[in-house]
Amino acid sequence: MTYPDSGRSATGRAVRLPGKAQVSRLATGCATLTLAFCLAQGIGATVALASVRPFTVTNYGSFKLTGAVSGSLVPLAGTCDASNSAADIEFSWFGKVTTLKDVSAKSIVSFELDLQGSRYDKAGKLTNTDGSPPFFTFNATTGKGLPLDWQSTSGTYYTSKGGVSGTVDVVLDQADGKPGTVVVKGSWAHCRVGGNI
């Protein structure tokens, strides 16, 4: 018996060849399988790329100082530590600060927001507490090498959970009673928890 869609193999044996409908279904199935495989590979590659892409922080916040000391300070990675044992946040710039008028570029400049007795994740007020928390302090040395020691007398603050971000708007006076005030307004983000404190 002869089939219209049959042929002969290299050995001369009769071989049944697929009909046009079978070829069409086979081609469609292969194309679908190939597309699905390619999509799966593409999605997998995209997921892999997304999972290894480094997270780059571009904004750690900034502080503006006006008054007896003026200029700005920008927190960066490693300049901010939030304690995980008490509500206390410290900012430190170890030299190379060129953005504060009359403050030595070699100076260690620091802020501290000490909320001990309180907690993170809330807003609050800062008053003249004479060295007892809550308070905000600012320390540095002048271009002449004289120390600056300022402490909050009034203002407001907000901290997020863990102290990793927040805002301050505070008025400070010199701790030694000399006249003159400094106003610090600003915010921070991506502060590391624990760190050096």
Q: Which domain holds residue 122?
A: 61-193
Query: How far is residue 117's CA from residue 87's CA, in Å, rounded to a whole number?
Result: 8
In this structure, is residue 189 part of a structural domain?
yes
pTM over 0.85: no
Confidence of residue 45 (pLDDT cuts 50, 70, 90): very low
Asked whether residue 91 falls in the same domain as residue 40, the answer is no
Q: Which tens digit of pLDDT belongs to each residue from 104-161?
A: 999 999 999 999 878 999 999 998 877 788 999 999 988 788 888 999 999 999 999 9
Asked whether residue 47 falls in the same domain as residue 136, the answer is no
Q: Which of 167, 174, 165 is nearest to 193 (CA)?
A: 165
Asked whether residue 153 falls in the same domain as residue 89, the answer is yes
Asked whether residue 34 falls in the same domain as residue 94, the answer is no
Query: Is pLDDT above 80 for 35?
Result: no
Asked whether residue 88 falls in the same domain as residue 170, the answer is yes
In this structure, is residue 119 part of a structural domain?
yes
Asked whether residue 39 falls in the same domain as residue 121, the answer is no
Query: Is pLDDT above 50 for 22?
Result: no
Query: Is pLDDT above 70 for 50?
Result: no
Q: What is the mean pLDDT of the chain?
A: 78
Tokens of 123: 């807003």
Asked whether residue 32 falls in the same domain as residue 95, the answer is no
